[in-house]
Amino acid sequence: MSKEIPAHNLSIYVANRPGALARIAQTFSRRGFNIESLVVSAGATGDFSRMTITAKGDEAGLEQIIMQCSKLVDVLACREHTDEEVVARELALVKVAVDSAHRGEVLQIADHFRAKTVDLSEKSIVLEATGSSEKLDAMVDLLSKYKIIELVRTGKVIMARGERET
Amino acid sequence: MSENQMNGAEALIQSLEKIGIEIAFGIPGGSAIPIYDALYKVRRKMKFVLVRHEQNAAHEADGYARATGKPAAVLVTSGPGAANTVTGIMTAYMDSVPMIVVTGQSVRGMLGKDAFQEADIFNLTMPIVKHSYLLKNANEIPRVIKEAYHIATTGRPGPVLIDVPKDVGTEACTAELEAEMNLPGYKPNPKGYGPETIRQIADALAKSQRPVIIAGHGAVLSRAEKELRQFAETLQAPVATTLLGKGVFPDSHKLSLQGLGMHGTAYANRAVVECDLMISVGARLDDRILGVPSQFCKNAVKIHIDIDAAEFGKLVKPDIRCRGDAKTVLQDLLPLLKKGDTAEWIKRIEGFKKKWPMTYAKKGGLHPPQVIDALNKLTGGKAVMTTDVGQHQMWAWQFFRCDKPWQFISSGGAGTMGFGLPAAIGAQFGRPGETVVAIVGDGGFQMTMSDLATAVIHKLPVKIILMNNHYLGMVRQWQDMFYDERYSGVDLEGNPDFVELAKAYGVLGLNLKRAADIPKVLKKALEHPGPALVNVEVVHHEEVFPMVPPGKPLEDTVLCHPRRKPGRPAGRKNGPAQTGKKNA
Ligand SMILES: Cc1ncc(C[n+]2csc(CCOP(=O)(O)OP(=O)(O)O)c2C)c(N)n1
Ligand SMILES: [Mg+2]
To the question of domain B8-170 being in CATH 3.40.50.970, the answer is yes
DSSP B313: T
Mutate to test the interface with A, among B93, B125, B131 (most CBs of A within 10 A): B131
Mutate to test the interface with B, among A49, A70, A73, A76 (most CBs of B within 10 A): A73
pLDDT band at B397 (very low <50, low <70, confident <90, very high): very high
**Which of the pair, B368 or B582, is modelled with greater confidence?**
B368
Return the pLDDT at B60: 99
- Atom 9, ligand 1: residue with shortest CA distance: B390
* Region A126-144 average pLDDT: 97
B502-519 residues labelled b (16+ CB within 10 A) or e (exposed): beebebbbbbbeebeebe
Active site residue B117: yes
- SS3 state at A134: helix
- Find, in chain B, the residue whose alpha carbon is nearest to that of A14: B185
DSSP B554: G
Return the pLDDT at B557: 96
The binding-site residues of ligand 1, defined as CB within 6 angstroms of any ligand atom, are: B 388-392, 415-418, 441-444, 467, 469, 471-475
Return the pLDDT at A3: 63
- Mean model confidence pLDDT for chain B: 95
Active site residue B254: no
Angle in degrees, CA B391, B354, B572, rounded to 5: 35
E strand or H helix that includes residue B234: helix B225-235
Question: What would the pLDDT profile of B281-305 be if each residue is shown by its tens digit?
Answer: 999 999 999 999 999 999 999 999 9
* Region A2-30 average pLDDT: 90
User: What is the rounded radius of gyration, in angstroms, for the C-alpha atoms of chain B?
Assistant: 25
Specify the pairing of strand A7-15 against strand B172-173: unpaired
Q: Cβ A64–B151 below 8 Å, yes or no?
A: no
B120 touches chain A (CB under 8 A): no
CA–CA separation, B92 and B129 (whole Å): 9
CA–CA separation, A105 and A119 (whole Å): 16
Selected from 3.90.930.12, 3.40.50.1220, 1.20.1560.10, 3.30.43.10, the CATH number assigned to the domain covering B191-355 reads 3.40.50.1220
CA–CA separation, B453 and B502 (whole Å): 10
Q: For residue A60, which of A6, A1, A2, A11 has the smallest C-alpha distance? A: A6
CA–CA separation, B384 and B201 (whole Å): 35
Q: Cβ B313–A64 below 8 Å, yes or no?
A: yes
Question: What would the pLDDT profile of A53-100 be if each residue is shown by its tens digit?
Answer: 999 988 888 999 999 999 999 999 999 999 999 999 999 999 999 998
* Region B52-80 average pLDDT: 98
Question: What would the pLDDT profile of B191-240 be if each residue is shown by its tens digit?
Answer: 999 999 999 999 999 999 999 999 999 999 999 999 999 999 999 999 99
Residue B492 identity (one-letter amino acid): L
pLDDT band at B561 (very low <50, low <70, confident <90, very high): confident
- Per-domain boundaries in chain A: 7-81, 87-158
User: Are both B191-355 and B368-541 of the same fold?
Assistant: yes
Return the pLDDT at B469: 98
Question: What would the pLDDT profile of B469-511 be if each residue is shown by its tens digit?
Answer: 999 999 999 999 999 999 999 999 999 999 999 999 999 999 9
Instruction: State percent of chain B over pLDDT 90.
Output: 94
Sheet holding B463-468, edge to edge: B408-409, B384-387, B436-441, B463-468, B532-537, B508-512
Contact predicate B265/B398, CB 8 Å: yes
Active site residue B118: no
Taking only residues 296 to 335 of chain B, the set having a beta carbon closer than 8 angstroms to any beta carbon of chain A reads 308-310, 312-314
CATH superfamily to which B368-541 belongs = Thiamin diphosphate (ThDP)-binding fold, Pyr/PP domains (3.40.50.970)
CA–CA separation, B226 and B209 (whole Å): 23
Instruction: State percent of chain B over pLDDT 70.
Output: 96
DSSP B396: H
Burial class (CB in 10 A: 0-12, 13-18, 19+), B363: exposed
- SS3 state at B27: strand
CA–CA separation, B326 and B219 (whole Å): 6
Q: Which of A112-126, B354-368, B493-507, B553-567 has the lowest mean pLDDT?
A: B553-567
Return the pLDDT at B577: 35
Q: Cβ B310–A19 below 8 Å, yes or no?
A: no
Q: Which of B183, B185, B310 sits opposite A14 (nearest CB)?
A: B185
Return the pLDDT at B575: 34
pLDDT band at A32 (very low <50, low <70, confident <90, very high): confident
Question: What would the pLDDT profile of B25-41 be if each residue is shown by its tens digit?
Answer: 999 999 999 999 999 99
Contact predicate A10/A59, CB 8 Å: no
The class of domain A87-158 in CATH terms is: alpha beta
Q: Which of A19, A75, A76 sits opposite B132 (nearest CB)?
A: A19
- Mean model confidence pLDDT for chain A: 94
DSSP codes of every residue in B74-142? EEE-STHHHHHTHHHHHHHHHTT--EEEEEEE--GGGTTTT-TT---HHHHTGGGSSEEEE---GGGHH
Return the pLDDT at B565: 52
Selected from 3.40.50.1820, 3.30.70.890, 3.30.70.260, 3.40.50.150, the CATH number assigned to the domain covering A7-81 reads 3.30.70.260
DSSP E strands, chain A: 7-15, 34-42, 48-56, 75-81, 86-97, 116-120, 124-131, 147-153, 157-160
Residue B416: nearest ligand to its CA? 1
Active site residue B116: yes
Residues 6+ apart with CB under 8 A from B128: B86, B89, B90, B93, B94, B159
E strand or H helix that includes residue A133: helix A133-143
- Per-domain boundaries in chain B: 8-170, 191-355, 368-541
CA distances from B323 to B171, B198, B310, B331 (A): 44, 11, 10, 14
CA–CA separation, B314 and B144 (whole Å): 31
Question: What would the pLDDT profile of B147-159 be if each residue is shown by its tens digit?
Answer: 999 999 999 999 9
Q: Cβ B134–A71 below 8 Å, yes or no?
A: no
- Find, in chain B, the residue whose alpha carbon is nearest to that of A61: B314
CA–CA separation, B430 and B436 (whole Å): 10
Question: What would the pLDDT profile of B245-272 be if each residue is shown by its tens digit?
Answer: 999 999 999 999 999 999 999 999 999 9
DSSP codes of every residue in B447-481? HHGGGHHHHHHTT---EEEEEE-SB-HHHHHHHHH
Return the pLDDT at A4: 75
- Find, in chain A, the residue whose alpha carbon is nearest to that of B132: A19
Neighbours of B478 (CB within 10 A): 15
* Region B531-554 average pLDDT: 97
CA–CA separation, B226 and B328 (whole Å): 12
Interface predicted TM-score of the whole assembly (ipTM), two decimals: 0.92
Question: What would the pLDDT profile of B128-180 be if each residue is shown by its tens digit?
Answer: 999 999 999 999 999 999 999 999 999 999 999 999 999 999 999 999 999 99
Active site residue B258: no
